[in-house]
């Protein structure tokens, strides 16, 4: 058996073990786009996440990451329940709004209702869940949040929004 050939590194890939290397590789990885929501002292908060993962079907667990310097971190740190929203390709502006620092994310242009356990549930998404946080795992300057899906709705219409090469994109036919 022949050993696999290791490709030579391309220019600009970053030095081994560097944050630039990881970023440059993950720019090649297309990810779904979600918005995570919570309540913070009676006011809704949220952020865009591309790190959403299914962890287990039984029990129904998912995970995502959040930086501990993010404006939404205190609410995520302190909340027992969170909302997870899968965005459609028609929602790139909403994804951008929830990704922008200092933005009025729940202003008059954002449709939402108070859902189960007081969690903000966004209008017009492909699917949503309300989850109970079961773990917060330290990972560098971030936390991996593990949550159990309790209730939701998978019946939104449309196609998923993707994040690739630093931009929000739609699927191509």
pLDDT value of position 22: 82
C-alpha–C-alpha distance, residues 106 and 79, integer Å: 18
C-alpha–C-alpha distance, residues 49 and 39, integer Å: 17
**What is the distance, to the nearest Å, from the Cα of residue 26 to the centroid of all Cα atoms in its chain?**
15
DSSP state at residue 124: T
pLDDT value of position 25: 86
pLDDT value of position 15: 66
pLDDT in tens, the chain (173 residues): 666 665 555 555 556 777 888 888 888 888 999 999 999 999 999 999 999 999 999 999 999 999 999 999 999 999 999 999 999 999 999 999 999 999 999 999 999 999 999 999 999 999 999 999 999 999 999 999 999 999 999 999 999 999 999 999 998 87
Please measure the distance between the N-terminal and C-terminal CA atoms of the chain and give it in whole angstroms. Answer: 39
pLDDT value of position 8: 53
pLDDT value of position 163: 94
Q: Is residue 147 a contact partner of residue 132, using CB atoms and an 8 Å limit?
A: yes
User: What are the tokens at 96?
Assistant: 């951008």
pLDDT value of position 11: 52
pLDDT value of position 156: 96
Element containing residue 96 per DSSP (H, E): helix 92-99
Q: Is residue 116 a contact partner of residue 151, using CB atoms and an 8 Å limit?
A: yes
CB atoms within 10 A of CB 114: 11
Ordered by where they begin, the domains of the chain are: 32-153 (2.30.110.10)
- The helix/strand/coil state of 133 is strand
């Amino acid at each position: 058996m022949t050993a696999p050939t290791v490709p030579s590194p391309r220019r600009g890939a970053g030095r081994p073990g560097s944050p630039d290397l990881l970023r440059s590789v993950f720019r090649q990885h297309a990810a779904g786009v979600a918005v995570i929501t919570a309540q913070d002292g009676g006011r809704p908060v949220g952020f865009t996440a591309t790190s959403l993962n299914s962890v287990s079907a039984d029990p129904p667990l998912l995970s995502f990451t959040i930086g501990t310097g993010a404006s939404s971190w205190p609410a995520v740190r302190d909340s027992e329940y969170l909302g997870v929203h899968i965005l459609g390709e028609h929602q790139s502006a909403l994804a951008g709004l929830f990704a922008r620092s200092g933005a009025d994310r729940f202003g008059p242009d954002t449709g939402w209702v108070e859902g189960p356990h007081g969690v903000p549930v966004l209008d017009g998404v492909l699917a949503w869940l309300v989850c109970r946080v079961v773990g917060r795992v330290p990972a560098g300057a971030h936390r991996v949040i593990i949550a159990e899906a309790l209730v939701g709705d998978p019946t939104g219409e449309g196609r998923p929004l993707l994040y690739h090469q630093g931009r929000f994109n739609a699927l191509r036919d």
